[in-house]
């Protein structure tokens, strides 16, 4: 198993490199990422490449058995690039260029920037293609966190992209509904960049997001072509940003060997990091395979101000959560806190003093455990029976028209995701056009953009025996961002057994909500309400107000061999979603691995005839976890009994007896 840190040898005197390599080896590290921000060190002036310093650093690391991942350095241009080619800097909405001095400030349609990026990538690839210490490559750094550029070149690029997508202006005008507000275009050159999601044509804004995403994917593809041709024996990955929404990560991941991502869940007071778990499942879903952690929390972090410090044992349990979710490599950011620049407060395994103290010792312990576990977990992954549809295009479209103020995509998904997490049931995150047939249960919340093909696929899934849940604002728009000319829920109406003729936002009032037909409980409906008419569906929750008596809040419908559920509001109580998750799991025949106590995460990786359960205590209290199976706790090597006791931030890794 690869275990390592992100290392910046250019930040430190060369005589320190040997000390760093020795400390890394003593801590059990065997991989580092280097050079992703070292463009000016490798090309101090145009066309003059200097790799001698990096060669020596790699040799020093290699002598201690530490391999390297090389980052292409195109996320931070040297000053000479901006000075010689000012058009490479992104342009702001007001027409001025951004000021050089920050990373990720380039224009992606700049021919000069694309040329210079390809040159440095090719020079690195040629130089390091045969280096035995180079394990692989990382493209750029956190693609998508760049400035959005509004220059004439980007506008022309957007117009060309639209021409390729729609073919004719007549089709574009139809798809965007430009009969509204006299927005019809007579020439491609009239099309502007929709720079305000809240004001511009929502269909134009959706296509602008698609264009910007494609532009970033295309930029990476330029580097991939070079690396694949020049370094065929070395892997290529990229460090994604979890739940980042600006880029369609399915597209960005497609041509990579595997996905890596950067995980920083230490914010506010300690709690259960549901978001880090969901992000890991999204990352695993991008290529339907395990992932790497390329940057993992190793200390307090921030630029001008910083977060709280990870508490003793917390760095270890944060890392175990990711291994439990499918991480096959763990790389901490960063090796040592830098003494200069904007990230002086982004602390690492070592502090500014370079001494191996508490964080170093915790990471050394964790690395040693990972190496001992490596043989057992190799070839294993999660195999959930439930999935949540995760859709970037719905996310973008909702940014322009959320319908109700609190309709924030990740929060909507989290209501359901967190309930399954608490129940000990893992889920996959899948794209809207994936075949749902491999899952017993599929949730499609807030699936705002729903082409007819997607609706037909989901309906057929239910008919064939699947369990589907969808909810408010799903199926509203077609792929162009136009509202479907149908009564909601459109083509899913028969599968769900309902009709929605009216709906409302609830910014300053609530409804009472009561369970029915065996789904017992009393709750609060807030933020939004579909006035759901049950046509064939069974009502599981009703509204309490007089004018809502004819309408349902939650329904269940038998359709073919399956069931379609519809949730038409937002419930204010967490307990409601726990009850709903239990109902859905029971109907789908999904049983949790075990019943975890509050604050304990339970997952299972399986493969090669093994089933390995991970228990992670995210609290500062001791927890007792009942075990419905016999096995061996792999960290201690001891046989398990009827339960496992987890201390503060404790972890157990249990191989179930065959």
Confidence of residue 146 (pLDDT cuts 50, 70, 90): confident
Task: Give residue-wise pLDDT tens across range 417-444.
Answer: 999 999 999 999 999 999 999 999 999 9
Tokens 């024996």 appear where?
233
- Residues 575-594 have a mean pLDDT of 98
Confidence of residue 195 (pLDDT cuts 50, 70, 90): confident
Contact 487, 501 (CB under 8 A): yes
pTM of full prediction above 0.75: yes
Task: Give residue-wise pLDDT tens across range 3-46.
Answer: 999 999 999 999 999 999 999 999 999 999 999 999 999 999 99
Q: Do domains 2-377 and 386-588 have the same CATH topology?
A: no
Task: Give residue-wise pLDDT tens across range 281-328.
Answer: 999 999 999 999 999 999 999 999 999 999 999 999 999 999 999 999
Task: Give residue-wise pLDDT tens across range 235-271.
Answer: 999 999 999 999 999 999 999 999 999 999 998 889 9
CA-nearest of 424, 434, 475, 435 to 585 is: 424
Given a cut of 80, whether residue 145 has pLDDT beyond it is no
Q: Which residues are catalytic?
A: 142, 295
Q: Is 2-377 assigned to CATH 3.60.21.10? A: no
Q: Is 386-588 assigned to CATH 3.40.50.880? A: yes
Q: Output the CA–CA distances (angstroms, integers) from residue 592 to 413, 421, 625, 656, in the order listed.
A: 20, 10, 13, 15
Question: What is the Cα–Cα distance from 278 to 387, expressed in whole angstroms?
Answer: 12
Cross-strand bridge partners of residue 614: 603, 653
Question: What is the Cα–Cα distance from 266 to 340, expressed in whole angstroms?
Answer: 23
Question: What is the Cα–Cα distance from 305 to 276, expressed in whole angstroms?
Answer: 22
Strand segments, DSSP code E, in 84-139 are 134-138
Confidence of residue 110 (pLDDT cuts 50, 70, 90): very high
340: exposed, middle or buried (Cβ count in 10 Å: 0-12, 13-18, 19+): exposed
- Residues 161-173 have a mean pLDDT of 98
Per DSSP, the residues of 530-553 read EEEEESSPEEEEEE-SGGGTT-EE
Residue ranges per structural domain of the chain: 2-377, 386-588
Q: How many CB atoms lie within 10 A of CB 409?
A: 22
Given a cut of 80, whether residue 339 has pLDDT beyond it is yes
Tokens of residue 546, six digits: 């007089």
- Residues 60-71 have a mean pLDDT of 98
- pLDDT score at 197: 80
In this structure, the dihedral spanned by the alpha carbons of residues 484, 488, 492 and 498, taken in order and rounded to 10 degrees, is -170
- pLDDT score at 447: 98
- Residues 597-618 have a mean pLDDT of 98
- Residues 408-420 have a mean pLDDT of 98
- Residues 502-506 have a mean pLDDT of 98
H runs (alpha helix) in 386-490: 392-400, 409-423, 452-463
3-state secondary structure of 156: helix
- Residues 95-124 have a mean pLDDT of 96
Q: What is the mean pLDDT of the chain?
A: 97
- pLDDT score at 357: 98
């Amino acid at each position: 198993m690869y275990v390592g840190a992100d290392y910046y040898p250019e930040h430190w005197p060369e005589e320190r490199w040997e000390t760093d390599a020795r400390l890394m080896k003593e801590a059990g590290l065997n991989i580092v990422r280097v050079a992703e921000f070292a463009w000016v060190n490798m090309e101090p002036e145009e066309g003059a490449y200097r790799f001698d310093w990096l060669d020596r650093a790699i040799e020093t690391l290699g002598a201690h058995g530490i391999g390297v991942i090389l980052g292409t350095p195109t996320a931070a241009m040297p000053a000479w690039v901006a000075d010689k080619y000012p058009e490479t800097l992104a342009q702001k909405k007001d027409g001025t260029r951004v000021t050089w001095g920050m990373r990720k400030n380039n224009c992606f349609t700049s021919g000069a920037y694309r040329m210079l990026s390809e040159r440095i990538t090719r020079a690195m690839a040629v130089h390091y293609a045969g280096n035995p210490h180079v394990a692989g490559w990382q493209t750029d750094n956190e693609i998508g966190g760049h400035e959005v550029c509004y220059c004439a070149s980007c506008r022309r690029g957007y117009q060309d992209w639209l021409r390729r997508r729609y073919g004719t202006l007549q089709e574009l005008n139809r798809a965007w509904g430009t009969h509204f507000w006299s927005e019809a275009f007579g020439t491609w050159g009239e099309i502007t960049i929709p720079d305000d999601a809240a004001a511009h044509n929502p269909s134009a804004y959706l296509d602008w997001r698609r264009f910007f995403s494609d532009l970033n994917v295309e930029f990476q593809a330029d580097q991939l072509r070079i690396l694949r041709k020049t370094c065929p024996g070395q892997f290529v990955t990229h460090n994604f940003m979890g739940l980042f929404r600006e880029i369609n990560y399915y597209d960005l991941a497609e041509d990579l060997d595997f996905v890596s991502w950067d995980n920083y869940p230490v914010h506010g007071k300690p709690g259960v990091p549901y978001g880090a778990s969901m992000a890991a499942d999204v990352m695993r879903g991008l290529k339907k395979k395990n992932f790497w952690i390329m940057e993992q929390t190793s200390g307090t972090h921030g630029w001008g101000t910083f977060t709280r410090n990870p508490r003793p044992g917390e760095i270890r349990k944060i890392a175990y959560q990711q291994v439990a979710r499918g991480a096959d490599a763990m790389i901490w950011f960063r090796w040592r806190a830098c003494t200069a620049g904007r990230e002086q407060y982004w602390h690492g395994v070592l502090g500014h003093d370079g001494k191996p103290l508490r964080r170093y010792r915790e990471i050394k312990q964790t690395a040693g455990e990972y190496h001992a576990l490596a043989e057992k977990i190799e070839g294993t992954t999660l195999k959930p029976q439930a999935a949540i549809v995760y859709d970037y295009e719905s996310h973008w479209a909702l940014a322009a028209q959320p319908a109700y103020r609190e309709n924030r995509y990740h929060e909507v998904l989290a209501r359901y995701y967190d309930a399954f997490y608490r129940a000990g049931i893992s889920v996959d995150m899948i794209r809207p056009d994936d075949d749902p047939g491999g899952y017993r249960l599929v949730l499609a919340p807030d699936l705002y953009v729903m082409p007819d093909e997607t609706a037909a696929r989901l309906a057929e899934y239910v008919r064939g025996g699947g369990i589907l849940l969808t909810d408010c604002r799903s199926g509203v728009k077609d792929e162009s961002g136009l509202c479907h000319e149908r009564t909601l829920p459109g083509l899913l109406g028969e599968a769900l057994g309902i009709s929605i003729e009216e709906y409302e936002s609830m910014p300053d009032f609530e409804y009472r909500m009561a369970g029915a037909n065996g789904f017992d409980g009393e709750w609060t409906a807030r933020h939004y309400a579909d006035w759901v008419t049950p046509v064939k569906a069974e009502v599981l929750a009703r509204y309490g107000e007089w004018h809502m008596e004819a309408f349902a809040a939650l329904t269940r419908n038998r359709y073919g061999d399956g069931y379609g559920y519809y949730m038409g509001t937002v419930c204010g109580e967490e307990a409601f979603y726990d009850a709903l998750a239990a109902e859905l799991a029971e109907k789908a025949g999904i049983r949790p691995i075990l019943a975890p106590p509050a604050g304990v995460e339970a997952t299972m990786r399986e493969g090669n005839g093994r089933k390995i359960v991970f228990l992670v205590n995210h609290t500062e209290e001791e927890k007792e976890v009942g075990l419905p199976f016999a096995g061996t706790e792999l960290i201690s090597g001891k046989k398990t009994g009827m339960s496992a006791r987890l201390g503060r931030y404790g972890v157990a890794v249990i191989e179930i007896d065959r």
